[in-house]
Structure 1
Amino acid sequence: MTIRTIAQIKKELADESVEEEYLDLLRSDNRKGVQKLLEQYDRRQDQKREYKHQFEQMKSFEYSCREKGSHIIAGIDEAGRGPLAGPVVAAAVILPEDYYLEGLYDSKKIPLAKREEFFQSLKAHADCGVGIVSNEEIDQHNIYQATKLAMKRAVMDLTQVPEHLLIDAMYLEESEVPQTYLVKGDQRSVSIAAASIIAKVTRDRIMSEWHDNYPMYHFRSNQGYGTKEHLEALKTYGVSPLHRKSFAPVKENS
């Protein structure tokens, strides 16, 4: 075998389809730099196997639904129940049966750049519905009912009609579609995890746009949550049209 430089080997190991025969040759290479690259490669492969195993475990509810005859399965989750400002956003996502997205999990556990990457993949390959309920509607209905309303709107926004709903910690009493209520569903179901990505990225983008109108509240960084700087801005500038007037910290400054 032609002796390769460390730089060449690094580039070759970046390709995930490395042949086992080539890896065996590298393992007999005594250069410390080569062995370090192999350790890094092995760690990446271990991580990939863990992601694959996790993904398969998180498909258990989807598998169960299909065994019972439901093949169009929508995962549903929301973003924005706790903030003092902005809408609550729900998403419903129907994943293709053979879809795989490495590292898909609860959106709160995934870094911003990766969430954006996942968002683009899901929008390109899955049926994604979004439901938005404004802060005025939240004040009218209360946040619990507003969240349910957002979820119903998300289901209505889907292209397909779901045969089963997997919902994160909610139950939609008025729905005629069979449903499963899952506590911490965004960590237990790939469909709900996908919905958590769509809901969070959508809402974060909305709050980022509102930041341009009301920069004093720092919506781009706090997404409307009651951070120290947000509460101080409420005391200084009062309530904006985006605030939820039925929420206690906002009431105090109305």
Structure 2
Amino acid sequence: MNKDKPMFRLLPLAGLLAAGCCAAAVSVATFKQVMPPPGLYQIDTDGTIRMPDAGTSARQQTDGASGDVTATTTAPGGKARQDFKGDGPIRFCVPAHQVVPQVLPANLGAAACKTLSTTGGGDSIVHIAQCAGGRYKLTVRRLSENTWEFIDHADLGPTPGAPSMEALRPMMEQMAKNGTPEERAKAQQALAVLPQQQAAMDAGRAQAMAALAKAQADAKTPQEAAAVAKAMQAMGQTGIHMQTDARRVWTRIAEHCGS
């Protein structure tokens, strides 16, 4: 059985398990009315990452029936679109008996997240949390007897830690599998040298930090020292301001997941 594995790993809330997410914060009746019950679901996805400061964005649309992907990137220089053939239906099983998971998945650093509010009523549940990486909002709505939508929004700021080339891996793996022969060759080559590129980037960053530390020690005025400290803080952060939005439509296609 295929599970949804989006190209854009920075759409974190969209992959939440469909049962148990907010039961502790809303009434049992609301939880049962809103959340998808056990069964097998087919999932259609539409997600966008925006980098407002750079004027760029990337959108990925995945067809749940075929797994086909359309990726569109927009930058100041124009817009580009690529279509990728899927591996088959995108499906997810909600088991009849499962351990209730955290509201936010572990890769968000859920332990460092603070719930700001969880509300439910009618056919929807809304959860808002403040995490180390930024502010997250998840809305779950029941659209009909057999369809649900999960809508999430994240406002992400720079986070502590060294930059990682691993963020590029999902895109390169997709290209290596589904691109033209030339694109596949380039992507495979890029994947092969990824560890060396990371090592070189880490070494360069270490050298820059050492130079900044020396400059701070040699600073002749408090203003110079403060300026160097600010540069060191920026060097110790990863990424830029990003906003992500994703909408997933879950369609229940069977009461049981099968084998």
* Shorter-chain TM-score above 0.5: no
Q: Which has the bigger relative contact order, CA under 8 A and spacing at least 6?
A: 2
Structure (1 or 2) with the greater helix fraction: 1
In which range does the TM-score fall when normalised by the shorter chain? under 0.3
Structure (1 or 2) with the greater strand fraction: 2
TM-score by length of 1: 0.23
